[in-house]
Amino acid sequence: GAVVSQHPSWVICKSGTSVKIECRSLDFQATTMFWYRQFPKQSLMLMATSNEGSKATYEQGVEKDKFLINHASLTLSTLTVTSAHPEDSSFYICSARDRRGYHNEQFFGPGTRLTVL
């Protein structure tokens, strides 16, 4: 149980295009999902908290107009990187909290590797 998937697993796009990444909780409902970004040999940096049915909460320094987050259902959150540039190339990871879970345990997706040319 507690499986989180991401799609696509990797994507290559041209500079200036937009890319959408999906995060799904496959066997549980997630009222809250989190989006992280990880550069090579660095830690995970939280970008935003996505709450089902409401606006996402962005961390300081993260442009909300560039990284659009939609959490339309209890099993799906999407991250859209708009007008992507090479500096946006990174490993994007989502996590989800089980609404029935204790503590604040998060289940992580496998990540999406974004390369912007």
Partner 1 sequence: GESVGLHLPTLSVQEGDNSIINCAYSNSASDYFIWYKQESGKGPQFIIDIRSNMDKRQGQRVTVLLNKTVKHLSLQIAATQPGDSAVYFCAENISSGGAGKSTFGDGTTLTVKP
Where does this chain bind partner 1 (CB under 8 A)? 4, 6, 32, 34, 36, 42-46, 49, 57, 60, 91, 93, 95, 97, 103-111, 113
Omega prior to 40 cis, within 30 of 0: no
User: What is the closest distance, in whole angstroms, from the C-beta atom of residue 102 to partner 1 in the complex?
Assistant: 10
Q: Look-up: residue for tokens 């997630």?
A: 30
Shorter beta-carbon distance to partner 1: residue 63 or 105: 105
Name residue 32's beta-bridge partners: 51, 97
Length in residues, the chain = 117
User: What is the closest distance, in whole angstroms, from the C-beta atom of residue 42 to partner 1 in the complex?
Assistant: 8
Name residue 78's beta-bridge partners: 22, 70
Shorter beta-carbon distance to partner 1: residue 14 or 103: 103
Shorter beta-carbon distance to partner 1: residue 14 or 43: 43
Phi, psi of 84, rounded to the nearest 5 degrees: -65, 145
